[in-house]
Amino acid sequence: MIAILDYDAGNIKSVEKAVHYLGEEAVITRDKDLILSCDKVILPGVGSFGDAMGKLREYKLDQVIYDVVDAGTPFLGICLGLQLLYKTSEESPGATGLGILDGEILRIPDAPDLKVPQIGWNSLDITPGAKLFAGVEEHPYVYFVHSYYLKSKDEADVAARTHYSVEIHASVEKGNVFACQFHPEKSSTVGLKILDNFIHL
């Protein structure tokens, strides 16, 4: 069973449908005991960094996330769910994120002929041996919707990169913590393979 954390964020249903399509049970919940009993946990996210952290704290899901990570349960952050794993974001000065991983969440700089937010498909450069991308073709295209991006402090955490005005750390892996800036649930067969890899960790 996979717990999908419910904190009033968007795209939760599409994540649930993708997990069900892959043959795995999923539950959308904010119940602490149920979350801690699940085999894996997904933190989806659409919206702003500060508002999302406010909701996580309102529902006391921040502490549940720390408990999940400390227990060694595989944990996947998607889109804003990746950004929330870090301590701060330029999107919400003064707001404090989870601080589980070390890096910066920065605004994508303006560049000629590029619109911010990045909305659409972009290719990835995958780090050899990255668990989420086992069996995925080289330079796969995945679907992004974001104005802010990760610059990881530790290069060893970076599982995939893309380029849009700047180099973007598009996926990270550290221990039992995994995250993607892109939306695997909206990234066709490649995204389903990535989710399937997470399910079968």
Provide the residue ranges of all domains of the chain, joining segments of one domain with +. 2-199
Mean pLDDT per 10-residue segment, the chain (201 residues) = 91 92 97 98 94 96 98 98 98 97 97 94 98 97 98 97 98 98 97 98 94
Residues near 1 by Cβ (< 8 Å), separated by ≥ 6? 24, 25, 26, 27, 37, 38, 39
2-199 under CATH 1.10.10.10, yes or no: no
**Does 38 participate in catalysis according to the annotation?**
no
Amino acid at 73: T
**Does 79 participate in catalysis according to the annotation?**
yes
**d(C-alpha 12, C-alpha 68), whole Å:** 19
**Does 185 participate in catalysis according to the annotation?**
yes
**d(C-alpha 82, C-alpha 182), whole Å:** 9
| List 91, 169, 173, 183, catalytic entry | 183
pLDDT of residue 9: 79
pLDDT of residue 132: 98
What is the H or E stretch that residue 49 is in? helix 49-58
Considering the entire predicted model, what is its pTM? 0.97
| List 16, 79, 146, 173, catalytic entry | 79
